[in-house]
Amino acid sequence: MADSFIKWFPDSLGLEQNKAARWGYEQGLMLKALERVWQRTGEQKYLAYIRRTIDYSIGADGSIQRFKLDDYNLDNINTGRTLLTLMQLPGPRQAQYRQAAELLHHQLDGQPRTQEGGYWHKKRYTHQMWLDGLYMAEPFSAEYSQVFNQPTGFDNVALQFAQVEKHLVDPKTGLLYHGYDESREQQWANKTTGQSPNFWGRGMGWYAMALVDVLDYFPKDHPGRAKLIAYLQRLAPVLAKYQDPKTGAWWQVSDQAGRKGNYVEASASCMFVYALQKGVRLGYLDKKYAAVARKGYQGILKEFVQTEPDGTLALNGTVSVGGLGGTPYRDGSYEYYLSEPLKKNDFKGVGPFIMASVEMELAK
């Protein structure tokens, strides 16, 4: 799949073919997936592609093209993980990669927060935490804290997850709502809890991946580490329960299996397989969850993966977007989540599919 992807985008990673890369979380997701393939295979072509993509965006002074710090948008942080990788490798641009990573961290220093310290998802999404934001910011923040030896950074990472566990977990099902509005002002927000009304598969996928990735960097003796592992151990049986028994995949609206209009969705399924299998491999989860991941991966191959006439692989069935509020207004209803179109070879599906595939290879 990684080679298929490079065939689609031979020069660098753009959202549209034959266009240079832009700065966004989808690019960061794909670059991290390609990094996993490079680490697994040792083939330098993947590293060269990653470096070439990043170099389109980083100026000689360490600035980031098309990045606006004042947006305070957590989506802009994710690609910083690749900067941290590249600045630790030999090369002529180490200083610029470091400067760009420091710029992203500077955004987090000024990121608006809830009264309890949770990051707003974006400055324009006032008082709101979204599940997506944990993947967008926290793996970068944790690795930055490790690389730059800033132990207090881990305290902040732990706080972000604690806020999600406090405000977004449904006590009845164990599933997580997509968003939380501290002010209760949004139309989608429950006036008592501030929660959005539904459980979105990919939203929980972002959260699950964030958990297993931040643990790569957390010090063994940090008190937050055990809590993060406990969150993952709480989530794993929930994911197993809501896995579709027929296909092995997971539903777009997680608790509404079989309801009219609902469907099994590729990106969430790939994210859950990745998180569960990585959790088993690293000893955070009981080995029984390897069977859940294996069933999920087989379901992905059957339901979503196809071979194209030119021999490349394609991934179907990824919902193009999922959000709350904005214009036009997204109300978080069941109908809203089913209204967004499905997309073939969407980065948000392909990236996690590659990462899940690497984990399944490591499990052999």
Flag whether pLDDT at 177 surpasses 70: yes
Q: Is 210 helix (H, G, I), strand (E, B) or coil?
A: helix
Region 282-299: what's the mean pLDDT? Answer: 99
So which residues are the catalytic ones?
Answer: 132
Q: What is the DSSP string of 46-59?
A: HHHHHHHHHHTTB-
Q: What is the pLDDT of residues 40-81, one digit of tens each?
A: 999 999 999 999 999 999 999 999 999 999 999 999 999 999
Task: Please choose, from the candidates 287, 307, 323, 353, the residue with its C-alpha nearest in 3D space to the C-alpha of residue 121.
Answer: 323
Average pLDDT over residues 295-304: 99
Arithmetic mean of pLDDT, 171-193:
99
Helical segments of the chain, H only: 2-8, 25-41, 44-55, 80-87, 94-110, 132-147, 152-167, 201-214, 223-242, 266-281, 289-303, 334-339, 347-362
Residue 12 has pLDDT above 90, yes or no: no
Short-list 98, 120, 100, CA closest to 110:
120
The pLDDT tens digits for 242-274 are 999 999 999 999 999 999 999 999 999 999 999
Mean pLDDT score of the chain: 97
Is residue 17 pLDDT above 90, yes or no?
Answer: no
Cα distance between residue 233 and residue 256, in whole Å: 23
Q: Average pLDDT in the 103-130 region?
A: 99
SS3 164: helix
User: Where does residue 133 rank: exposed (0-12), middle (13-18), buried (19+ CB within 10 A)?
Assistant: buried
Mean pLDDT over 214-218 rounds to 99
Residue 15's pLDDT band (cuts 50, 70, 90): low
Q: What is the model's pLDDT at position 218?
A: 98
pTM over 0.85: yes
Higher pLDDT, residue 8 or 321: 321
| Average confidence (pLDDT) over 108-136 | 99
Q: Does residue 207 carry a pLDDT above 90?
A: yes
| Tokens matching residue 111 | 């990121």
pLDDT given for residue 11 in this prediction: 80
pLDDT of res. 21: 60
Is the previous residue joined to 328 through a cis bond, with omega within 30 degrees of 0? yes
Q: Is the pLDDT of residue 83 over 90?
A: yes
Per-residue pLDDT, 13: 79
Neighbouring CB atoms inside 10 A of 250's CB total 28
pLDDT at 18 over 70: no
Give how far Cα 113 sits from Cα of 17, 30, 108, 128, Å.
37, 28, 10, 9
What distance in Å separates the CA atoms of residue 57 and residue 23, rounded to the nearest whole number? Answer: 7
* CA–CA dist 220, 196 (Å, integer): 34
Can you give the pLDDT at residue 188?
A: 99
**pLDDT per residue over 1-11, tens digit each?**
999 999 988 88
- Cα separation, 173 vs 238, whole angstroms: 7
List the domains of the chain with CATH numbers. 1-363 (1.50.10.10)
Structure tokens, 173:
């099902």
